[in-house]
């Protein structure tokens, strides 16, 4: 009995150990986005709100935003379905957080080291779309409805390409366990899967951007077309939850890209005679975070650079380009694995 309670407490502590840094990261990703895009657009970005009277480059901004959103009224549209309206943001954020259960932050640093990790991730990231669809439906607004329809079609199509890209990883690593996948890549920079799986990596990254509804695939929100898409009727904390889910998903997708294609927590200098030994003391989580930062930066960079695709063009890209590319590369990969192509499959 006590043992059970003890286990429960340990698990809860682990969850907090993941969630608190994650939520901080989400908050500061919004800050980083505004600052970075600000610099790209020759303006300054938020630099006023600080702590205790010190400005500190506006680092207090995300906290202030969160507090503001918490105190704002949640406006419920007159004809909205009240239950679904409230459930939708929860459905959006729950999978975005739950997926972190199987993400390893280092060798053994994982909440649940399960063998079907990859499948679990695939299942949970697909669930996020229900939040969007239900939000669009429950709002009883034509704009929200259009956004939900777009989002549903988009995510269904990109899920396939994403799934195929992950099949490639599965074939290469012979495992669905994320820790195993990373360990299979050990041996240095050239052993990571980005090289043999380069097309799959590109497809995964593009689908990841599409999956999170970020520019240039942000048709579900489409600021200039359907105003804010599925969350046009949301305000206050309900809106904030959608917002958190989007950014948590960005971090998740970036980290998964790193784990599956860029060697996870492995050092890029591994196997290089002097440098490898000199940097061996650096903990793996440092490399993991640095690599993840790079992909998060890419998300922001895309947003500042690209125009938005049209809805039908996104579909065409998904079905006619990405899916054929992945299928062709799976065949190439299969041949390489059967031929035991070194250094990856030898």
Computed on alpha carbons and rounded to an integer, the radius of gyration of the chain in Å comes to 21
What is the DSSP-derived secondary structure letter of residue 54?
Answer: B
Minimal distance in Å, beta carbon 149 to another protein? 8
- Between residues 230 and 309, which has the closer beta carbon with respect to another protein? 309
Minimal distance in Å, beta carbon 316 to another protein? 9
- Between residues 232 and 330, which has the closer beta carbon with respect to another protein? 232
- Between residues 151 and 177, which has the closer beta carbon with respect to another protein? 151
* Token couple for 340: 């035991």
For 83, list phi and psi in degrees, rounded to 5.
-70, -50
Minimal distance in Å, beta carbon 228 to another protein? 9
- Between residues 307 and 342, which has the closer beta carbon with respect to another protein? 307
Minimal distance in Å, beta carbon 219 to another protein? 7
Minimal distance in Å, beta carbon 313 to another protein? 5
Task: Find tokens 């059967």 and name the residue.
Answer: 338
* Token couple for 17: 């150990």
How far apart, in whole angstroms, are the C-alpha atoms of residue 24 and residue 198?
32
Whether 211 and 159 have beta carbons less than 8 Å apart is answered as yes
Segments in the chain forming alpha helices (H): 2-40, 61-71, 82-98, 117-138, 142-173, 178-184, 198-211, 223-226, 236-261, 273-278, 284-305, 311-316, 323-338
Minimal distance in Å, beta carbon 235 to another protein? 16
- Between residues 179 and 214, which has the closer beta carbon with respect to another protein? 214
Minimal distance in Å, beta carbon 55 to another protein? 13
Whether 295 and 301 have beta carbons less than 8 Å apart is answered as no
How far apart, in whole angstroms, are the C-alpha atoms of residue 293 and residue 278?
23
Binding site for another protein (CB under 8 A): 37, 40-43, 142-143, 146, 150, 215-216, 218-219, 222-227, 303-313
- Between residues 202 and 237, which has the closer beta carbon with respect to another protein? 202
Task: Find tokens 């495992």 and name the residue.
Answer: 175
Whether 136 and 148 have beta carbons less than 8 Å apart is answered as yes
- Between residues 286 and 306, which has the closer beta carbon with respect to another protein? 306
């Amino acid at each position: 009995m006590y043992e059970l309670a003890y286990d429960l407490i340990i698990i809860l502590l682990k969850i907090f150990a993941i969630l608190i840094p994650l939520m901080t990261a989400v908050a500061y990703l919004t800050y980083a986005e505004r600052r970075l895009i600000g610099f790209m657009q020759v303006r300054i970005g938020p630099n006023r709100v600080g702590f205790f009277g010190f400005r500190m480059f506006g680092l207090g901004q995300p906290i202030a935003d969160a507090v503001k959103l918490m105190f704002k009224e949640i406006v419920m549209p007159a004809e909205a379905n009240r239950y679904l309206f409230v459930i939708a943001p929860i459905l959006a954020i729950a999978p975005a957080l739950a997926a972190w259960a199987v993400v390893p932050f280092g060798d053994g640093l994982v909440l649940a080291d399960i063998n079907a990790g990859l499948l679990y991730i695939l299942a949970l990231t697909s669930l996020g779309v229900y939040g969007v669809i239900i939000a669009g439906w429950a709002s009883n607004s034509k704009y929200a409805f259009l956004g939900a329809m777009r989002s549903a079609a988009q995510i269904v199509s990109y899920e396939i390409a994403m799934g195929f890209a992950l099949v490639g990883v599965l074939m290469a690593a012979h495992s669905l366990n994320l820790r195993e996948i990373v360990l299979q890549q050990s041996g240095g920079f050239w052993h990571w899967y980005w090289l043999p799986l380069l097309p799959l990596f590109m497809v995964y990254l593009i689908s990841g951007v599409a999956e999170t509804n970020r520019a240039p695939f942000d048709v579900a929100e489409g600021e200039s077309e359907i105003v804010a898409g599925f969350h046009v009727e949301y305000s206050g904390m309900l809106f904030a939850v959608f917002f958190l889910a989007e950014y948590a998903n960005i971090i998740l997708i970036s980290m998964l890209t790193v784990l599956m294609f860029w060697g996870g927590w492995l050092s890029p200098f591994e196997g290089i005679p002097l440098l490898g030994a000199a940097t061996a003391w650096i903990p793996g989580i440092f490399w993991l975070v640095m690599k993840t930062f790079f992909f998060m930066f890419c998300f922001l960079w895309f947003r500042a650079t690209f125009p938005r695709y049209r809805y039908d063009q996104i579909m065409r890209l998904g079905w006619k380009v990405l899916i054929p590319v992945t299928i062709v590369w799976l065949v190439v990969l299969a041949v390489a694995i059967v031929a035991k192509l070194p250094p990856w499959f030898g």
